[in-house]
Structure 1
Amino acid sequence: MRDLVKDRIVFATDFSPLLPDRTASPAASVYLPLHGGDDGFYHDRILLGNLVAEAKKQLTAAFGKRSFASLAETLEYIVANPAEIVGDKGVRGLGVLATNEQACVYRLPFPVEPRVQVGETFFLKPLLRDFQYGSRYVLLGLSADRFAFIRGSFTSLDRAVLPVGTDDQFSELYPLEYDGRPALDYTTLEGHMSPYHNYRSRDDVRKEESEKFFRYVGETVSKHLMPACEVPVVLVALPEHQALFRRVADIGCLLDEGIEQNVDELSTAELLADAAAVIGRAREARASSLIKDYANRRAHGGSTDDAAEIGMALVERKVRALFVEEGRELPGTFDEATGKVSHETKADHGERGDLAGSDLADALAQAALRQGGDVYVLAASDMPTKSGAAALFRY
């Protein structure tokens, strides 16, 4: 039984593959802040147990005889095995989205308010920061004779395994010849004196061989490693390599700002901190640009803060970016099939006033994410409108 329950738990990092707009069974959304340390962990475990007990209470009140036994078993397993569920010490918040069939666990790099909501849909608002542009990115570590592809998040870096047959070193790619002559890889080049190849200087040979290798890296990244280019790419390379690579390679999602250091000389902590700084500035710039577009296109129907218009735009799949005010709830519902928006208060739901789905902003954000739109959770002072939600259209 333990293994059966454990098999229902998925540690999720992405949005769309796991979360339907509506579930076939009752759904529970549980959020827990994590404080770290032995004392913090002890209190977090008690709070998690209280939240799960509240979830079962709400499920009983809302769904009566409808079965949620498997869901309850999964939540109880999570309470009984918190160390396994939390994992990395860098995790500062936990999100659990559970049904009878599956539980998606999100390990978050930021704290969340403790919260329980149950219903026929999940409540995602506390997770939105983890789905924003830049929460997932790629570092392209590049030197004169090798490259690495590293996937990153707020809290971790993982070196990607290259496809079979993909060379990541110059000496592997060009082992035998250069312009019809025996090739010298960069280790060999640095150990000899000029002249090389038709009596050209070592610098000339280095530049030509770098350009050849960098073209190969650019083509490999674009064609094989990131065909959809759905996340930003940060180039980690020395300044002279940055300039040459950007001149010869065409990667649409490569950020203008890179990390101008040799990737092999940075510790994981240093690289993670540098990447976070670059991504943070890129996100702010992107949001600022989209907000300007929102203002400029408002008069021509290219953006709106009217919830009903946002709903219809989502049905037409034309929302490019959705701005949601942080910490503000908009009571109401949204039908993703028809685009109908209903404004309500929690009192309108009676005893089910706290159920997921009553927050219109959350429902709109979920729909936008399912369509590949950008969602930005902004402070009230940064919002382009006072309505609590606003959308910029694709066209």
Structure 2
Amino acid sequence: MKDEKETLRKTDESIHVMEGFDPAILSDVPAPVVSLYIPVHHSEREERRDIWDRDMFKDLMKDAERTLAESYGKDAYKGILEKADYLLAHPDMPLWLHAGEGLGFLMGNDDVYVYNLFFAPEPMVAAGDTYFVKPLLRNFQYGTEYYILELGNDRFSWVKGDRTHVERQQLPREVHDFFSELFANSDDTAADMKKDELGALDYITLEGHMGQYHDHQSRNDVKKEDAAQWFRYVNKAVNDYLVRDDTTPIILCCDEEYEHAFRKVCTLRHLLPEGIKKDPAGLDGKALLEESLAVMDGIRDANIKETAEKFGADAAHGKASDDFDAIGMALAERRVAALFMVKGKILPGGFDVNTGTVTFDGNPNPVDDGYIDPAAPDITDAFAQAALAQDAHIYIVDQDQMPTASPVAALFRYAE
């Protein structure tokens, strides 16, 4: 009984719910592995959503097991099956209960990495020597996490967001103390209560990600010079206590009349040039999410367009190509700066990251928007993993956003 409990404990500890995508987990992974993706049904058959999703997981694992049995003895993937059974037997795990639009599982004998997806993937499974990660790249490729600095002329709040929700963060004690020393009404202290004033720091959480911002009383009319000083203090508080070495992009949300004054004193390295030019007091959670995604998507699309437009000039000087062999060699030499791939394009075949050799299997240019054959490795997925290992930017886009008619294109760090 004790041994059984210890086994269950170790199994539970081997299942990791990931906040971001770390390419390091792709290195030196002992084969075999299973990559499994399922959509999560929030409205359809809501009364038995968990059963519906777990049944899909179970069916895909049966497909994976059949594929693994063709190439491996059962002991070679025993750990994968044990972890899958554990996941199915524990429907109360947070990863099931708090799922977004989809879930991705990278499963090995030793560890399982679980990803909450902001989009609903096609049900798919791949089993073999390497993980299949392209759906994850779509989830993480454009910086899906961000902060929002909600700013007024006498108060501010700090919000964390992603593709599916925004949530106001409780400010740390250091910020609390910092402003208490500067402003008499910066905290809900007894003195403030006597003044019938609310504090300059807003700790209200967006209830259910949809609550109102904060219907607050303002301080006395704030003069422009006082507002400028306030903005400097906010800038310092965010720099010193909230971001430090964090590289997550920051969206400024404030009334347009305050934007210039804040940006004039701002030293936040990762503050985005485009912000939300609206008073945050007038935005509920849903509106704030929509405005934030519009900013993030606009920057993403502009970045894709700018990089794609560089392709022609760079190709003329040997610094870009849409030739598979040339891209494979550049990946082997670790000199790919940006990799473009068409969304939904599957290219069965192999890629040797050490030699750069690319081999095609059957039709070299199929399109498969649905189920992925777990027995067929995908060249583009292998390209993506190699690009990740050298910190290249990866863009999975529609064909009309590609720099050429080819399903794959790359820009290099330097010419051959």
Q: Which residue of 1 aligns with 2:274?
A: 257
| 1:342 aligned residue | 358
2:385 matches 1:375 = no
1:386 maps to 2:392: no
What is the aligned partner in structure 1 of residue 229 from structure 2?
A: 212
Structure 1 residues 256 and 80, CA gap change in structure 2 (3 angstroms):
same
**Distance verdict in 2 for CA 1:40–1:191, change over 3 Å:** closer
Q: How does 1:275-314 map to 2 (within 5 A)?
A: 275-314=292-331
Decide which moves more: 302-311 or 95-104: 302-311
- For these two proteins, the number of residue pairs brought into alignment is 371
Which stretch of structure 1 is more off in the superposition, 61-70 or 360-369?
61-70
Taking structure 1 as reference, are residues 159 and 114 closer, same or farther at Cα in structure 2, changes over 3 Å only?
Answer: same
Give the Cα–Cα distance (whole angstroms) in 1 for the partners of residues 319 and 246 of structure 2: 25
Counterparts of residues 321-336 of structure 1 (less than 5 Å) = 321-336=338-353
| Counterpart Cα distance in 2 of 1:360 and 1:380 | 17
Contact 2:332 2:356 in 1 (8 A): no
325-334 or 59-68, larger mean C-alpha shift: 59-68
Q: How does 1:98-177 map to 2 (within 5 A)?
A: 98-160=107-169, 165-167=174-176, 170-173=179-182
Contact kept in structure 1, 2:331 and 2:356, CA below 8 Å: no
Query: Residues of 2 paired with 1:314 and 1:148: CA distance?
Result: 43
- Unpaired segments ≥5 residues, structure 2: 1-6, 186-194, 201-216, 365-371
Letter in 1 for 2:30: A
Structure 1: which amino acid aligns with 2:361? T
Percent identical among aligned pairs is: 35
Greater alpha carbon shift after TM alignment, 260-269 vs 230-239: 260-269
What is the CA–CA distance in structure 2 between the aligned matches of 1:357 and 1:174, rounded to whole Å? 64
Per the alignment, residue 208 of structure 2 pairs with none
Contact 2:253 2:280 in 1 (8 A): yes
| Residues 304 and 391 in structure 1, CA contact (< 8 A), matched pair in contact too | yes
Residue 199 of structure 1 corresponds to none
Q: Which residue of 1 aligns with 2:11?
A: 5
- Cα distance in 2 for partners of 1:300, 1:168 equals 56
Matched, 1:247 2:264: yes
CA contact (8 A) 1:21 1:121 kept: no
CA change 1:304–1:160 in 2 (3 A) is farther
Residue deviations 1:335-355, cap 9 Å, x none? Answer: 34x25132220699xxxx955
Secondary structure, counterpart of 2:26 in structure 1: coil
Change (3 A) 1:241 1:169: farther
What does residue 86 of structure 1 align with? 96
**Normalised TM-score (structure 2):** 0.78
Of 28, 45, 54, the match for 2:54: 45
Paired with 2:61 and 2:150, the residues of 1 have a C-alpha distance of 43
TM-score normalized by the length of structure 1 = 0.82
CA apart distance, 1:82 = 4.1
For 1:385, the aligned partner's letter is T
Residue number in structure 1 paired with 2:204: none
Structure 2: how far apart are the matches of 1:347 and 1:61? 23
Question: Which whole-Å CA distance do the structure 2 matches of 1:391 and 1:228 have between them?
Answer: 30
Q: Check whether the contact 1:357–1:363 (CA below 8 A) recurs between aligned residues.
A: no
Q: For 1:32-78, what per-residue CA distance to the aligned partner results, in whole angstroms no more than 9, with x for missing partners? A: 12222235554333222111122222222222254322211111122
SS state of the match for residue 113, structure 2? strand
Do structure 1's residue 30 and structure 2's residue 30 form an aligned pair? no
Determine if contact 1:146/1:169 at 8 Å carries over to the other structure.
no
- Looking at structure 2, the residues matched to 165 and 98 of structure 1 have their Cα atoms a distance apart, in angstroms, of 41
Q: Which amino acid aligns with 1:345?
A: D
Q: Partners of 2:228 and 2:413 in 1: how far apart?
A: 37
State which drifts further: 385-394 or 225-234. 225-234
CA-atom RMSD in angstroms: 3.2
